[in-house]
């Protein structure tokens, strides 16, 4: 469970950084709940989540996730990760954020992704 779950989360962030929407959608359930807890955002399902990623990518030259620090649940397939997000804005500016994501897995796919961000 552990390393394969870490790999699945690592793959997710790689697909976000490389703007591979189809690969992201293959990692989430059709009814996935995606929340940005710090901003009161709640998205349900692949269509709403797709629109959010398309918006994110259109507002930035690029996005990069790195400096991962993992917290794994010993008895389930839940995992949390703290990381740095670097966004290069269309105007050239750089924005760094410190985020934490919590992933819940059902039948091998992410059924819930909860995001906490600062910066």
- 52-108: pLDDT as tens digits: 999 999 989 999 999 999 987 777 778 999 999 999 999 899 999 999 999 999 999
CATH of the domain at 23: 3.10.450.50
Instruction: Evaluate whether 43 touches 56 at the Cβ level (below 8 Å).
Output: no
Q: Is the pLDDT of residue 1 over 60?
A: no
Comparing 7-11, 33-37, 72-76, 82-86, the range with the smallest average pLDDT is: 72-76
* SS3 (DSSP) at 75: coil
Apex 16 CA angle, 12 and 18, nearest 5: 115
What is the pLDDT of the chain when averaged over all its residues?
93
Contact of 81 with 1, CB cutoff 8 Å = no
Instruction: Let me know: does 16 contact 53? Beta carbons within 8 Å.
Output: yes
Count the domains in the chain.
1
Q: How far out from the chain centre does Cα 23 lie?
A: 12
Decide if 96 contacts 78 (C-beta within 8 A): no
* Interatomic CA distance for residues 101 and 114, integer angstroms: 5
Of 41, 18, 28, residue with least CA distance to 109: 28
Domain encompassing residue 58: 2-118
> Cα dist. 56→15, 74, 107 in Å?
13, 33, 28
The whole-number pLDDT of residue 29 equals 98
């Amino acid at each position: 469970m552990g390393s394969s779950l870490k790999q699945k989360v690592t793959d997710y962030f790689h697909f976000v950084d490389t703007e591979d929407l189809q690969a992201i959608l293959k990692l989430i359930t059709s009814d996935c709940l995606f929340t940005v807890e710090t901003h009161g955002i709640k998205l349900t399902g692949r269509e709403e989540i797709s629109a959010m990623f398309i918006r994110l990518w259109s507002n930035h030259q690029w996005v990069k996730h790195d400096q991962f620090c993992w917290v794994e649940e010993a008895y389930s397939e839940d995992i949390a990760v703290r990381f740095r997000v670097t966004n290069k804005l269309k105007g050239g500016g750089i924005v760094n954020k410190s985020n934490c994501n919590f992933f819940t897995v059902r039948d091998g796919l992410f059924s819930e992704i909860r995001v906490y961000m600062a910066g």
